[in-house]
Amino acid sequence: TSAQIGVTGLAVMGRNLARNFARNGYTVAVHNRTASRMKALVEEFGHEGGFIGAETAEEFVAALERPRRLVIMVKAGEPTDAVIQEFAPLLEPGDMIIDGGNAHFADTRRRERELRERGIHFVGTGISGGEEGALHGPSIMPGGSVESYASLGPMLEKISAKAKDGAPCVTHCGPDGAGHFVKMVHNGIEYADMQLIGEAYQLLRDVAGYSPAEIAEIFRTWNTGRLDSYLIEITAEVLSHVDAATGKPFVDVVVDQAEQKGTGRWTVQIALDLGVPVSGIAEAVFARSLSGHAKLREASQGLAGPTAVPLGKEEAAAFADRVEQALYASKIVSYTQGFHEIAAGSEEYGWDIDLGAVASIWRGGCIIRAAFLDRIRAAYDARADLPSLLSDETFAREIAAAQDDWREVLIAATRQGVPTPGFAAALAYYDALRATRLPAALTQGQRDFFGAHTYRRVDREGTFHTLWGGDRSEVSA
Ligand code: NDP
């Protein structure tokens, strides 16, 4: 017997992905640099389905039916290149290497090009949902050739999460690095979602005066409405958890320094390169880095702030409703920015990514899964060339209804000295987009003054320069 698919790299993700394939009826060849992990998998979970354990790369490749489908689930970066170099010489034209790690899309583009020259399909694939997702059904974002997707698609559909309407959470995102790019932005949006939720929590605690347990209840209520999502659900779980050792709310015994693995940072770096304003995502990345500057924070403890005036009980309840509006409006902006980045990447690299399909495959399995994504898909279904999610009538109407509360929440935050960079960046983006005139005109004037960088006029075609150092007359540049 031969295996329809092979997985090499059997840490949490690879092991669970291999089990997922096996549980869905596929025979799976399994391999790991350190063979003990492979043996442990076969021993512990062999009863779940058809596994072929391979100790060497040669055995592993020999176990696969042709064309071979070989999934790499190793540490992203150099280990991925090392594994490719180990296996590629053993493969034949038409075979497929699927990289399910969190690779940078530029690496994926390079690897795809190199392997294409040898006739091998390299399928950079974003996989979201953590270890649970890998086992029970992740959201899967494959790139690579159309030909490879024809072979892999049905298998990926089988092991993927299913949205509430039963649709598999996988789509061919586009050629070469498209899948890893989409996964990168997914993670950037995840950072923004988490930051916004964090700010809502802080406001409910410091402005409204609620306890973590009370805030958990508020989040549970929100989760029955338009904010219904995995992240809101687990937020309530974390907030209601009590530390066994101290009896304190768990959230109060955790060091408040957020860590990151890099995909959020990449989202912002690439957005800067593409010239896409993803200010909400950027603030989320910066907020994590600020939290980690322990010495800087320590040195700033004595800085002056406003005198906090806690709200009364009734005011607090009304304020909580406002925070829900602010959170929802800011969330719309985060997704607007993230989808803009995907559209810009798609344009830059010629990927032709279907934004509605992306929204659709994020509805299940992944960390940002949410009822909300149905509405984004509907927005792109209604109009594939939507310039921005904010141009969608439904979203525009919802923000119109939320904006007064959104502004009130930011006023309260400012007055009480609660940092809300995510909410504030989102509102500034919204206000800047709807402004008829921006101070960018002044910026252009300054640039022309100090550097003769020229400007365009509102009333005439052409490029102009003012002779600032001379008689200040205008010349055509
Ligand atoms: P790790 O990222 O911790 O990687 C460990 C695996 O990589 C082990 O199988 C290890 O083999 C192998 N490995 C490391 N270096 C080499 C090398 N030079 N040659 C061969 N094999 C090597 O495992 P995870 O399961 O957490 O993640 C796997 C991939 O999935 C990563 O790219 C990660 O970013 C991505 N991912 C992870 C998610 C998560 O929630 N953890 C979610 C989505 C994606 P050995 O046992 O011999 O050390």
Contact in structure between 198 and 182 (CB atoms under 8 Å): no
What is the pLDDT averaged over residues 7-36? 98
The pLDDT value given to residue 384: 87
Contact in structure between 348 and 270 (CB atoms under 8 Å): no
The pLDDT value given to residue 432: 98
Give the single-character DSSP code of 307. P
Q: Per the annotation, does 454 bind a ligand?
A: no
The pLDDT value given to residue 145: 97
Q: Which of 183, 283, 324, 341 is catalytic?
A: 183
Q: Which residue is closest in CA terms to ligand 1's atom 38?
A: 130
- Chain centroid offset of residue 253 CA: 28
Say whether 190 is catalytic: yes
What confidence tier does 413 reach under pLDDT thresholds 50, 70, 90? very high
The pLDDT value given to residue 309: 85
Which pLDDT tens digit goes with each residue over 461-474?
999 999 999 999 99
**Nearest one of 371, 367, 380 to 336, comparing CA atoms:** 380
Which pLDDT tens digit goes with each residue over 164-210?
999 999 999 999 999 999 999 999 999 999 999 999 999 999 999 99
Q: Which residue is closest in CA terms to ligand 1's atom 27?
A: 13
**In this structure, what is the dihedral angle of CA atoms 270, 274, 280, 285, given to the nearest 10 degrees?**
20
Q: Where are the alpha helices (DSSP H) in 350-454?
A: 355-361, 372-382, 393-416, 421-434, 440-451
Specify the amino acid at residue 380. Y
Contact in structure between 280 and 326 (CB atoms under 8 Å): no
**Residue 258: both structure tokens together:** 């957020």
Q: Which residue is closest in CA terms to ligand 1's atom 21?
A: 33
What ligand 1 atom has the least distance to the C-alpha of 37? 46
Residues 6+ apart with CB under 8 A from 335: 189, 372, 376, 389
Q: Which of 58, 114, 190, 347 is catalytic?
A: 190
127 within ligand 1 shell (Cβ under 6 A): yes
- Chain centroid offset of residue 32 CA: 28
**Nearest one of 50, 232, 13, 269 to 140, comparing CA atoms:** 13
Q: Per the annotation, does 288 bind a ligand?
A: yes
Run of H or E residues at 218: helix 212-222
Pair type for strands 464-466 and 474-476: antiparallel
ipTM passes above 0.95: yes
The pLDDT value given to residue 308: 81
C-alpha span between 143 and 105 (Å, rounded): 10
Which pLDDT tens digit goes with each residue over 268-314?
999 999 999 999 999 999 999 999 999 999 999 999 999 988 899 99
Say whether 183 is catalytic: yes
57 within ligand 1 shell (Cβ under 6 A): no
The pLDDT value given to residue 310: 80
Which pLDDT tens digit goes with each residue over 128-170?
999 999 999 999 999 999 999 999 999 999 999 999 999 999 9
Q: Is residue 35 over pLDDT 80?
A: yes
Which pLDDT tens digit goes with each residue over 75-86?
999 999 999 999
What is the pLDDT averaged over residues 62-80? 97
Beta bridge partners of 249: 242
Which pLDDT tens digit goes with each residue over 338-391?
999 999 999 999 999 999 999 999 999 999 999 999 999 999 999 988 999 999
Q: Per the annotation, does 130 bind a ligand?
A: yes
37 within ligand 1 shell (Cβ under 6 A): yes
**Residue 415: both structure tokens together:** 């007055």
Q: Is residue 1 over pLDDT 80?
A: no
What is the pLDDT averaged over residues 235-241? 98
The pLDDT value given to residue 460: 97
Block residue for tokens 């062999």: 46
84 within ligand 1 shell (Cβ under 6 A): no
